[in-house]
Amino acid sequence: MTLILEDPLREGYSMALVRRRRGGAGGVCLAAILLAALASLASCGGKPEKTAAYYCPMHPQVTSDRKGDCQICGMHLVMASRPATAANAPSRDKTDAVFVCPMHPQVQSRGPSDCSICGMHLVPAPKVEPRGHGTVSGLAPVTLGPDSMRRMGYSTSPAQRARLDRTVRLPARIVADPTRVRPIISRVDGFVTSLHVWSAGQRVTRGQPLMGIYSLGILSIQQQYLNSSPAYGGKRFYPPSTRTQPEAVEGATEGVDRTKLRLKDWDFSDEQIARIEKTGAAEDTLEMASPVSGYITSYTVVLGQKVTPGDPLLTITDLSRVWAEVDVFEREVPLLKEGLPVVLELPSLPGKSFRGKIRTFQRALDPQVRTSRVIVELPNPDAQLVPGMIASAEIAFDGGERLCIPSSAVIRDGDRAYVFVETSPGEVRPALIEVGLEGGGKSEVLSGLSEGDRVVSSSTFLIDSESSLRAALQAAGDGP
């Protein structure tokens, strides 16, 4: 039997016409063998298997053999990297140029291209320094050329010992000096029969009459005073002295003085005591006078009111000197000293400042807000400062001489602080430091630097970004 094959691989490797010319068993076997070979060839395929050439950056499972859009998010499909083979595997020679995306350092290429995430043009990556030179995790040393240093305004400053004066502004409130507050209370049982002052805010002077209180209880103490100092014709009578009692006159004088002190304890004024002594008659009304000059800051008495010992009547406050209460934070407490100058400004008195000194401060912190209460004493001759006013207190602390650097050189990241130390012109490395006091544009360095070390004091943000980028390149495995 003779087989004639017409285009056996065309249209999916289908078999064409098989024409039978001669019969025979051998011909049948040969035909079966040829049919099996053709079926095997068709199953292997005459065309190469198609592979996905494009994929979605956001959904890698979406692939295509041609350009298009993602079916899920609509993003343009990007070209997939070819599998690494001996022919197309990129060289690991570190002298080759590496291009990186400025926004996504993980996107890298061995030639000019675009970022597969944001579409930005890749830029040549800076030369990567060997690992292990940085002292701050996530950062790497940086080398800058003269042009880069000039464009970014690069400058350095030395770490040196200098005076560190720290000035803080804190809220304050005006209060009365408690040593100048005089409450007026009743010391007798009686009734208010007269009033010479009528409201709070009224100014009074020392010795000015305030009110009269009728009380029968004051008659006995007056009579005791008169009995201890009887007067005849304007002269006092003293018992004659004897040899057995030579101190009789002295004892009588002491009795008079003690009784007079008791009258003053009951708020008898000097004028009323003199009048009683002159007339020799006891009075049933106690005339109360102001013990100090000041302002009435509380007024609770009314005419005809019945009073008992201990009842508050009014309060007189001397405002010629007041206090300011300032809450100082825990960090500044070690710098507090009595006598430290303080300047106060009040929003209610614009353009004016008041100077005082720290009188005292609490040696214990408030456990809730971690502050210490500071008392500032202020002169107030014109009574412009009134208790209850809000003020701003400026306290200048003397920190002494300390190792300092410009505060602009310090970069803070969470609970750590670091600087960039210049190892040679144009070469800087990150270094962790411990910061102490700060003030006046300077920061104290407790550890991490030595005197004379030069730190980058300007354009630190740009250098910090460059250092982070280089560290990312190292982490990606492009460093030595």
Distance from CA of residue 306 to its chain's centroid?
55
The region that residue 24 occupies, defined by phi over 0 for left and psi between -120 and 50 for alpha, beta otherwise, is left
Distance from C-alpha of 359 to C-alpha of 165, rounded to nearest angstrom: 21
Indicate the SS3 state at residue 197.
coil
CA dihedral for 82, 83, 87, 93, sign (positive or negative) = positive
pLDDT at 389: 96
Which of 97 and 281 is assigned the larger pLDDT? 281
Residue ending a domain, choose from 292, 316, 340? 316
pLDDT at 304: 93
Which of 158 and 14 is assigned the larger pLDDT? 158
How long a stretch of residues is the chain? 480
* pLDDT exceeds 90 at position 159: yes
Mean pLDDT for 125-153 is 73
Residue 436 lies in a domain: yes
Exposure string of 270-281, with b = 16+ CB inside 10 Å and e = fewer, is: eebeeebbeeee
pLDDT tens sequence across 32-45: 454 555 444 444 44
Distance from C-alpha of 264 to C-alpha of 318, rounded to nearest angstrom: 21
pLDDT tens sequence across 201-236: 999 999 899 999 999 888 888 888 887 765 533 334
* DSSP at 27: H
435 and 361 share a domain?
Answer: no
Query: pLDDT over 70 for what percent of the chain?
Result: 76
Question: Beta strand 353-361 with 341-345: parallel, antiparallel or unpaired?
Answer: antiparallel
465 and 410 share a domain?
Answer: yes
Widest distance between CA atoms in the chain = 184
- The token pair that represents 272 in the structure block: 């009323």
331 and 290 share a domain?
Answer: no
Residue 418 lies in a domain: yes
- Select from 470, 474, 476 the least CA-distant residue to 420: 470
Q: What is the CATH number of the domain that holds 260?
A: 2.40.50.100
| Range with lowest mean pLDDT among 37-41, 72-76, 223-227, 307-311 | 37-41
| Range with lowest mean pLDDT among 4-18, 111-125, 188-202, 418-432 | 4-18
Q: What is the CATH number of the domain that holds 361?
A: 2.40.30.170
344 and 444 share a domain?
Answer: no
Which of 176-190, 241-255, 268-282 shows the highest mean pLDDT? 176-190
238 and 156 share a domain?
Answer: no
pLDDT tens sequence across 360-398: 999 999 999 999 999 999 999 999 999 999 999 999 888
The backbone torsions φ and ψ at residue 204, rounded to the nearest 5 degrees and listed phi first, read -130, 160
* pLDDT exceeds 50 at position 133: no
pLDDT at 256: 64
Confidence of residue 8 (pLDDT cuts 50, 70, 90): very low
Confidence of residue 306 (pLDDT cuts 50, 70, 90): very high
Question: Which residues, 6+ apart, have CB-to-CB distance to 66 below 8 Å?
Answer: 53, 54
pLDDT at 298: 94
* pLDDT exceeds 90 at position 479: no
- The token pair that represents 445 in the structure block: 């360095």
Residue 132 lies in a domain: no
356 and 435 share a domain?
Answer: no
pLDDT at 20: 38
Distance from C-alpha of 446 to C-alpha of 450, rounded to nearest angstrom: 10
C-alpha angle 84-88-91 in degrees, rounded to nearest 5: 90
| Range with lowest mean pLDDT among 15-24, 270-279, 399-408 | 15-24
| Range with lowest mean pLDDT among 56-60, 83-87, 252-256 | 83-87
Which of 78-82, 142-146, 354-358 shows the highest mean pLDDT? 354-358
Residue 83 lies in a domain: no
Which of 175 and 223 is assigned the larger pLDDT? 175
Residue 296 lies in a domain: yes
Residue 480 lies in a domain: no
C-alpha angle 289-293-294 in degrees, rounded to nearest 5: 115
Containing domain of residue 415, as a range? 142-162+400-475
What are the helix (H) ranges across 237-372? 248-265, 270-279
pLDDT at 224: 81
393 and 354 share a domain?
Answer: yes
The chain-wide mean pLDDT, for the chain, equals: 79
Q: Is the overall model pTM greater than 0.75, yes or no? A: no
pLDDT at 19: 39
* pLDDT exceeds 70 at position 54: yes
Residue ending a domain, choose from 291, 316, 341? 316
C-alpha angle 196-202-207 in degrees, rounded to nearest 5: 55
Distance from C-alpha of 447 to C-alpha of 441, rounded to nearest angstrom: 19
205 and 149 share a domain?
Answer: no
Which of 82 and 459 is assigned the larger pLDDT? 459
- The token pair that represents 301 in the structure block: 């008495």
Distance from C-alpha of 10 to C-alpha of 241, rounded to nearest angstrom: 160
For residue 232, list its beta bridge partners.
Answer: 235
Confidence of residue 22 (pLDDT cuts 50, 70, 90): very low
Residue 284 lies in a domain: yes
Number of domain units in the chain? 4
201 and 221 share a domain?
Answer: yes
Residue 79 lies in a domain: no
What burial class does residue 243 get, using C-beta atoms within 10 Å of its C-beta: 0-12 exposed, 13-18 middle, 19+ buried?
exposed
Confidence of residue 265 (pLDDT cuts 50, 70, 90): confident
Distance from C-alpha of 223 to C-alpha of 181, rounded to nearest angstrom: 33
332 and 446 share a domain?
Answer: no
The region that residue 280 occupies, defined by phi over 0 for left and psi between -120 and 50 for alpha, beta otherwise, is left
